[in-house]
Structure 1
């Protein structure tokens, strides 16, 4: 069942989850402009197509799932290049974290998202499986393989 939300509810949701949606889109797409477009479209869908949420976590998961689906759609576009350079505007405050963040962003798409959702957003394997619409075993395997790739990359850099 869909509901209309007020502009105040939209603003509250954006204040609470806008950064998480943007970070997810940035991890997926790698370009600020594309991440901003997905963030905007995600909150437009919240305004016009929001289901009835049971709690705040439900709303956040819904927003991240919508953002992930929009990112996938954008990546499927025939005009989209598969290799993109990240801009220096991605938020990484601590210089020590920059090397790890760059390594995460360099991972293949299938590993980048589960790693981002697990370590940067704090989601469980079950929640990631729901957001990315895949099985829990697939999420666990992607986390394992992603960690292995990160370990090789970070140990090779030192």
Structure 2
């Protein structure tokens, strides 16, 4: 176990969680630069607030919740100022990118649940704990997201035929 605030702790946390947090932030912000800014801010908050964690799962849940909240704040702030967030990332149009775009087109409350369930392999129970929601709510959001995604994905498949 590393002591919070030490160089070893910082290196471990950054190495262990950077990619996960970047993926979550990117899904909401749709910009690599903005996602990187959000993740950097999460790590700064971790070091300045120095929260106490019961275990590694609690630490991970705190980081995920913090990056989700920061991403939402960034979106609200840019919308309020009428300033678009950086649109700097252009991805090739392969099936993965089309699937990612379809997920991003969902209402915001479904995006994180879908990402954590399908991309990060969390169970409904684990997602509920991370997002501090009832498990039934998470299950409902997943179900509704599937209903919304189905016609989008069917349309995409028709383009290939």
Taking structure 1 as the reference length, the TM-score comes to: 0.83
Q: Distance in 1 between matches of 2:88 and 2:129?
A: 27
Q: 1:81 to 1:125 in 2, by over 3 A?
A: farther
Deviates more, 1:77-86 or 1:119-128: 77-86
Match of 1:36 in 2: 36
Deviates more, 1:125-134 or 1:22-31: 125-134
Match of 2:59 in 1: 59
Match of 2:154 in 1: 155
Cα displacement string for residues 52-87 of structure 1 (whole angstroms, at most 9, x for unaligned residues): 333322221111111111112222221256898672
Q: 1:86 to 1:134 in 2, by over 3 A?
A: farther
Match of 1:87 in 2: 89
Match of 2:130 in 1: 131
Q: Distance in 2 between matches of 1:122 and 1:143?
A: 13
Taking structure 2 as the reference length, the TM-score comes to: 0.81
Q: What 5-or-longer segments of structure 2 have no aligned partner?
A: none
In the TM superposition, structure 1's runs of 4+ consecutive aligned residues that sit over 3 Å from their partners are 80-86
Contact 1:103/1:150, CA 8 A, preserved across alignment:
yes
Q: Equivalent residues in 2 for 1:104-123 (5 A)?
A: 104-123=103-122
Q: What 5-or-longer segments of structure 1 have no aligned partner?
A: none
Please identify the structure whose Cα radius of gyration is greater: 2
Alignment: residue pair count: 153
Q: Distance in 2 between matches of 1:73 and 1:22?
A: 16
Root-mean-square deviation (CA, aligned residues, Å) is 2.5
Q: Distance in 2 between matches of 1:48 and 1:100?
A: 37
Q: 1:79 to 1:133 in 2, by over 3 A?
A: farther
